[in-house]
Amino acid sequence: MYTGNKDLLLGIDIGTTGTKCTVYDLNGNIMATAYQDYPMIHKFAGWTEQDPNRWWDCVCTNLRKCFSSGGVDSSRIAAIGLSCTNAICLTDENGQVFHNAIGLHDRRSGAQVAWLEEKLGAARIRELSANKLAMGSCALSSIRWIMDNYPQLIKPGCKFLSPSGFIVKRLTGEFSINTSRVDLACVGNIYTGDLEQEILSRAEVPAWLLPKVYRANEIVGTVTRAAAEQTGLALGTPVTAGSVDTVSATLGAGALYAGDLAITIGSSGRLCYVSTSPNFDDRLINAHTINDNYLIIQTTNNAGISLRWFKDTFGQAVFAKGAPVDGNIYEGINLAAASVPAGANGMIYLPYLSGEKSPIWDSNARGVFFNIGLDASFGSFARAVMEGVALSIRDCASIVTANISGDQPIPLGGGAANSRVWCQIFADVLGRPIQRLKNSETETLGDIIIAADAVGLPCIPKDFGKTLATDSETLYPNKDHTDVYDELFLKYKKLYESIRPLYIR
């Protein structure tokens, strides 16, 4: 399918708090990139939504910037890959949305989770999908909530779409859902990657409400004339089905073969390893990869989003009277955190701002700053946030110790890779070398690896991310800091166990 005059690839990632579009050449160099952020929408306590039309507006704006100020000729793009966060929306037969999308951090569907577990049985759901029902991140409970609360909207032709499915529809006119999204939605069979009729039947969800299932590296369609006019993309550019952002990010970080491991710290935190078979431990999440393996995912709800919350809540005020380094508030936070010794002067942060998934799976948990003293500074709080997120990843790692044993560097991508101090904290907390990926945009990098595979580009193999990862800085654990964190981790665990009864509502 590949035609030789196409020498660029486009990756689109629809995130929890923003959308990024990045154009790469065939050597993995970024030719142009643009990002637009957006707020999460909280209409009521426990509700977290996104505006799907904002996703599309961001894609159009980003691409116009890439093609104008970035100087990219869109006719050179060979294919488009996509990835996205967990969210679900209902559209009509033309792909127009009825309501905001229910997002990753949403907590409204507790009654639906209980009903589904009664109807199907938690063990049976796990047996079929290798995943577990959860509010927000599992689309099945959100689908049932929409069906229960807005039955008048459920009509023939309507479809439930993920963010990437929504954008694919706008680009190509075709409805789609990819296999990894089917997995995480708990509506699929973990072995076949197809929709599981037993789950849909017992959940009373008509199969026609879900789109056709595609593998990540399958072409759903091509850019329509209408989409080309809105985005600046070339008419007829192939568009893949794409994948869950975690699958793309892990692939972009170089984890492809069985036993490969990677960390991605975006809005959520993900410690993942590749396996030849699913893992049915109910604290883990399973998803298909592009080479018939499985990605075993341990995900935390509030990783990068913890630092963003901290920046938005406190950073703006702290730096209001004096601009941080180069006007970058995050760089100011990095410097403040680096000025504080390992252990943040004894302060501990539990990063449970919107409940937690792996490994505790406690939707009632909330964030905590513990052991605040008169000597606490802005830097102490900043470092405690970074350490708390790293400790949560260590907590995940304790589930699969055998899979992370050894001394090989672990690639780390996502926004946290832009912070050297945070990457060093991860190395010290985990006691493992951390490969601070030069290209932190592992989601869009994974997207273009999938797109290249879809159109048969020979110069970008599936393990392209592994090749690029070799050109990265490796940070090694500081033994003195590791000793501090070993003790702090025990307190971190004990702190949650001590206050867990107080969360129960």
Residue 337: band (very low, low, confident or very high) from pLDDT cuts 50, 70, 90: very high
pLDDT at 402: 63
What would the mean pLDDT of 89-98 be, rounded to a whole number?
Answer: 97
Residue 478: band (very low, low, confident or very high) from pLDDT cuts 50, 70, 90: very high
10 Å CB burial of residue 337 (0-12, 13-18, 19+) is buried
CA distance 139 to 103: 9
- Tell me, yes or no, whether 454 and 376 share the same domain: no
- Tell me, yes or no, whether 370 and 470 share the same domain: no
Q: Specify the number of domains making up the chain.
A: 3
Residue 233 lies in a domain: yes
Structural domain of residue 270, as residue ranges? 252-302+398-475
Long-range CB pairs of 27-30 (<8 Å, 24+ gap) are 28/439, 28/445, 28/460, 28/464, 28/468, 30/439, 30/441
- Tell me, yes or no, whether 60 and 191 share the same domain: yes
3-state secondary structure 439-476: CCCHHHHHHHHHHHHHHCCCCCCCCHHHHHHCCCEEEC
- Tell me, yes or no, whether 229 and 192 share the same domain: yes
Is residue 501 over pLDDT 70? yes
Is residue 109 over pLDDT 90? yes
String of DSSP letters for 40-51: -B-SSTT--EE-
What would the mean pLDDT of 64-89 be, rounded to a whole number?
Answer: 95
- Tell me, yes or no, whether 122 and 257 share the same domain: no
- Tell me, yes or no, whether 144 and 213 share the same domain: yes
- Give Cα 446 to chain centroid, integer Å: 12
Is residue 322 over pLDDT 60? no
Residue 504: band (very low, low, confident or very high) from pLDDT cuts 50, 70, 90: confident
Residue 2: band (very low, low, confident or very high) from pLDDT cuts 50, 70, 90: low
- Tell me, yes or no, whether 276 and 327 share the same domain: no
Closest to 163 in 3D by CA, of 78, 61, 49, 64: 49
Segment holding 381, helix H or strand E: helix 378-397
CA distance 14 to 83: 6
Q: What is the mean pLDDT of the chain?
A: 94
- Tell me, yes or no, whether 164 and 262 share the same domain: no
pLDDT at 243: 97
Residue 326 lies in a domain: yes
Residue 122 lies in a domain: yes
- Tell me, yes or no, whether 385 and 406 share the same domain: no
- More confidently predicted of 256 and 4: 256
Residue 86: band (very low, low, confident or very high) from pLDDT cuts 50, 70, 90: very high
Tens of pLDDT, residue by residue over 400-418, are: 766 666 788 999 999 999 9
Given 246, 261, 281, the domain boundary residue is: 246
Instruction: Tell me which of 183-192, 312-321, 382-391 is least confident.
Output: 312-321
Residue 235 lies in a domain: yes
Tens of pLDDT, residue by residue over 302-315, are: 999 999 999 989 98
pLDDT at 472: 93
Residue 499 lies in a domain: yes
pLDDT at 326: 58
pLDDT at 423: 98
Residue 319: band (very low, low, confident or very high) from pLDDT cuts 50, 70, 90: confident
What would the mean pLDDT of 190-200 be, rounded to a whole number?
Answer: 97
Tens of pLDDT, residue by residue over 167-189, are: 999 999 999 999 999 999 999 99
Q: How many CB atoms lie within 10 A of CB 21?
A: 29
- Tell me, yes or no, whether 281 and 336 share the same domain: no
Q: What is the CATH number of the domain that holds 123?
A: 3.30.420.40
pLDDT at 328: 82
String of DSSP letters for 80-146: EEEEE-SEEEEE-TTS-BSSPEEETT----HHHHHHHHHHH-HHHHHHHHSS---TTTSHHHHHHHH
Is residue 484 over pLDDT 90? yes
Closest to 91 in 3D by CA, of 83, 100, 82: 100
Residue 3 lies in a domain: no
Residue 47 lies in a domain: yes
Is residue 286 over pLDDT 80? yes
pLDDT at 317: 73
Is residue 11 over pLDDT 70? yes
pLDDT at 327: 60
- Tell me, yes or no, whether 137 and 37 share the same domain: yes
The most confident of the ranges 221-230, 331-340, 437-446 is: 221-230
**If you ran DSSP here, which 8-state letter would residue 212 be given?**
-
Residue 109 lies in a domain: yes
- Tell me, yes or no, whether 87 and 162 share the same domain: yes
The answer, as to whether pTM is greater than 0.75, is yes
What would the mean pLDDT of 354-379 be, rounded to a whole number?
Answer: 94
pLDDT at 71: 87
Tokens 């579009």 correspond to what residue?
21
